[in-house]
Amino acid sequence: MAACTYDPAMPAGFVFDALKMHLKARGMTYADVARALRISEPTVKRIFAGRNCTLRRLDEICNVLQVELAELARGMPRAPRLVSQLTRAQEEELMSDPALLCVAACAMHQMRLDEIVRLYRIDEAQCLRQLLRLERIGILELHENNRIRLRLSRAFSWIANGPMMQFVKTQAPDFFNHAFSGPGELMRLVSVRLSQEAQVELLKKIEQVVQEYAEQHSAELRLPLAQRHPVSVLVGVRAWEPKAFKALRRAPRK
């Protein structure tokens, strides 16, 4: 494919300067883009340094950054409007309606409206109403032809022990009542004793693995929905000892 050609009103330099703003605003690096696109970091650096790429590659970069060329033309990054955490009231609203929560999860998986309707017993009108509620809450933007654009930042997280995480805890028995022996499944329990410094390093590695799952999700958005299977990764790190062990502990010396 030939190198990108741009409208004279939006020269290549302007496009890549705007992309850099969106990159910075989302807290992403060239390495993050490289992992999402399955290319090398030097290749990404050359694209931005040379301000030149194919139209297909430009479209892929825009997809990773959740931005459109029209937004680049306005020169204002969407990042100031990105959401890193909902309020407790917003999370409570999500929890109040199973259909709303389902549509929210689908939108966060970047599924299209027609895919949501095809997969769940939610008709198009109901789905549209729920998407508009999610837009009001601030999770997404609904564009022409019902295109969904997320407003969640890369650092998005649910409130610690908030409504969503409390809901997740109620689902733990169903989640763990499984053999975890199928293809692509894994369950490990490792109990260790670590220094505080070692634990900090371990948490960094776990965060990196979680981020790699998110980036792989973005990299495969172009695949048909039938080829993208739902995968849930539940990670919990805490100081913990089974109750049976605690019952055997000696009383602390006075």
- Whether the pLDDT of residue 66 is over 80: the answer is no
Residue with tokens 């409208």: 7
Residue with tokens 């030939």: 2
Between CA 203 and CA 249 the distance in angstroms is 28
- Whether the pLDDT of residue 225 is over 70: the answer is yes
- Whether the pLDDT of residue 220 is over 60: the answer is yes
Between CA 235 and CA 114 the distance in angstroms is 32
pLDDT at 20: 86
- Whether the pLDDT of residue 88 is over 50: the answer is yes
Confidence of residue 74 (pLDDT cuts 50, 70, 90): low
167-191: pLDDT as tens digits? 999 999 999 999 999 998 999 988 8
Token reading at 117: 């309707």
pLDDT at 241: 86
Q: Per-residue pLDDT averaged across 208-214, rounded?
A: 85
- Whether the pLDDT of residue 4 is over 50: the answer is no
pTM over 0.85: no
Are 74 and 84 spatial neighbours (Cβ–Cβ below 8 Å)?
no
- Whether the pLDDT of residue 102 is over 90: the answer is yes
Between 228 and 70, residue with greater pLDDT: 228
Contacts of 158 by beta carbon, 8 Å cutoff, 6+ apart: 85, 86, 91, 164, 165
187-206: pLDDT as tens digits? 998 889 999 999 999 999 99
pLDDT at 106: 94
CATH of domain 12-81: 1.10.260.40
Between CA 155 and CA 23 the distance in angstroms is 13
Cα 95 versus chain centre, distance: 19
Burial class (CB within 10 angstroms; exposed 0-12, middle 13-18, buried 19+) of 184: exposed
pLDDT at 73: 63
Going from the C-alpha of 92 to that of each of 96, 98, 158, 162, the distances in angstroms are 6, 11, 12, 9
Going from the C-alpha of 16 to that of each of 3, 20, 131, the distances in angstroms are 14, 6, 31
Token reading at 38: 């399955």
- Whether the pLDDT of residue 13 is over 80: the answer is no
Token reading at 26: 């989302």
Angle of helix 196-219 relative to helix 30-37, nearest 10 degrees, comes to 50
108-163: pLDDT as tens digits? 998 999 999 999 999 999 999 999 999 999 999 888 889 898 888 878 899 999 99
State which amino acid sits at residue 27: G
Residue with tokens 């929560």: 101
Strand 140-143 and strand 147-150: pairing? antiparallel
- Whether the pLDDT of residue 75 is over 60: the answer is no
Determine the 3-state secondary structure of 7 from DSSP: coil
- Whether the pLDDT of residue 47 is over 70: the answer is yes
pLDDT at 245: 86
